Amino acid sequence: MRMKYRRLLTLLLLGLFAVTAQAKKPNILVILFDDLGYSDLGCYGGEIDTPNIDGLAKGGVRFESFYNSARCCPSRASLMTGLYPPQAGIASFTTRNPDKRRGPAYLGRLNDRCVTLAEVLKPAGYGCYYVGKWHMHNETGPTQRGFDEFYGYMLAHSHDQWDADFYRRLPEGRKKEIDRKQGDFYATDVFNEYAVEFIKQGQKADKPWFLFLGHSSPHFPVQAPAASVDKYYEKYLRGWDKLREQRYERMKQIGLIDGDRWTLTERSLVPVDREDIANGFPGKPNPAWASLDRARQKDLARRMAIFAAMVEHVDRGVGKIVDHLKRTSDFDNTLIMILSDNGACYEWGPFGFDGTSRRGITTLHTGDDLRKMGGPGTHHSYGSGWSNLGNTPLRLYKHFTHEGGACTPFIAHWPEGIKTKGKWIRERGHLIDVMPTLRAAAGADYPRTFAGNAIQAEEGVNLLPAFNGKSLPDRPIY
């Protein structure tokens, strides 16, 4: 009789453990690129080496048509709140002095009628961590909007990835766990190291964790270690015309696009701006690569090689994160999302610019100066010709709500929650969908009020059914 009771008790305990394991909340990792083009990743047809992200795509799902808000801070506001940018208070850029005549949509910071992902996930039991670029105003910073720990910077783009003093650890008074000195500091790599560090902290807390990794790469100034840049230089001497054609063919081969439905557009127009900014091409198509003299081609190839190296360094960090998750048995129950805040950036003409943005200065680098590009203290962009490549086969760029400005790669990976591995999802998704999707995965509630304020209803839909082969409701997303 006792043996029967023991067996029954054992079975009950095993069942309890099984239910507990099944109900365990997933860890959540959101990785956001800055100014990555639609086809820059290898798993979207690009020639940049991104094997770790490609591996996640192979084991998860990719969206054909996933949309952002075409600019840095509006996209971040939408992604972070599940609302459209005007609803969150950041219809345009952040500002300390909002023009009241423009109304509350242009407040220039996150308003009090929205909640962040962290403010929703923390009550569901999550530890919340943020690494990298915030760009939703320093008066509504990450530790003021639900995140427990932060390392990165608050405003705009990273002005110098080699300057360790530009980056902050919050809350105030926190000692930097990773304190690389000048000369041994490269922000993209340090962001990746902090991602692993914060994951370790979350694991020690013995509760599910949410990490937002907001890389500044590959936003200008394009900067990367010279050794990483060198491997790409010869490749980009082939020029943007040939590489666009090659990307387009690879995109068809991997099943991303249908050649009958998706055509390779002509070279995009250079936006009309001041003549000194657009390199003499405002309102004209980007020039044919073959029309450029060899010195200009070498300068441009170096700029694009730096951009590619920045993307590769993000991917290397993804590899380190994945390795850590596998070693600690957290990989299978971690939901990972990878996307970009907007399309590739044209600023401001086909030859790029040097120095502070909008000054319109473009320097032709030659000889020994080529290899110095992208080093400490440098400030270059790669221009509209290469961003046209980045957005292959789409038209236009960041700033514009054409496909080239607002369509992003989107990858989701979660072995315990996504069963349709390696599939392309043809349903349309949007940044507003991230909030309801993460809520559903985490079992978190969306509040009607928060901190004494009425909260606007979320706008998006839960994407988890689409991750597993089901259809989403037909809806306008803009």
310 near 316, Cβ under 8 Å?
A: no
3-state secondary structure of 160: coil
**Cα torsion at 447, 448, 450, 453 (round to 10°)?**
160
| Residue 419 and residue 466 in contact, taking contact as beta carbons nearer than 8 Å | no
Q: Is residue 71 within 8 Å of residue 156, measured between CB atoms?
A: no
Whose tokens are 């002095």? That residue is: 97
The 3 state secondary structure assigned to 318-369 is HHHHHHHHHHCCCCCCEEEEEEECCCCCCCCCCCCCECCCCCCCCCCCCCCH
Q: Distance (Å, rounded) from C-alpha 266 to C-alpha 393?
A: 9
Alpha-carbon distance 87 to 83, whole Å? 6
Using DSSP bridges, classify how beta strands 449-450 and 453-454 pair: parallel, antiparallel or unpaired.
antiparallel
Q: Which of 43, 72, 73, 114 is the catalytic position?
A: 72
Say whether 72 is catalytic.
yes
Set 114, 135, 219, 407: catalytic member: 135
25 and 440 Cβ atoms separated by less than 8 Å: no
Nearest CA among 406, 409, 361, 386 for reference residue 306: 386
Instruction: Count the helices and strands in the chain (H runs, E runs).
Output: 14, 11
Q: How far is it, in rounded angstroms, from Cα 275 to Cα 272? A: 8
The two tokens of residue 285 are: 């198509």
Positive or negative CA dihedral for 63, 66, 70, 72?
Answer: negative
Neighbour-count burial for 301-321, b at 16+ CB within 10 Å, e otherwise: bbbbbbbbbbbbbbbbbbbeb
Q: Which tokens is 87 given?
A: 């609803």
211: β partners:
29, 129
Residues tagged active-site: 72, 135
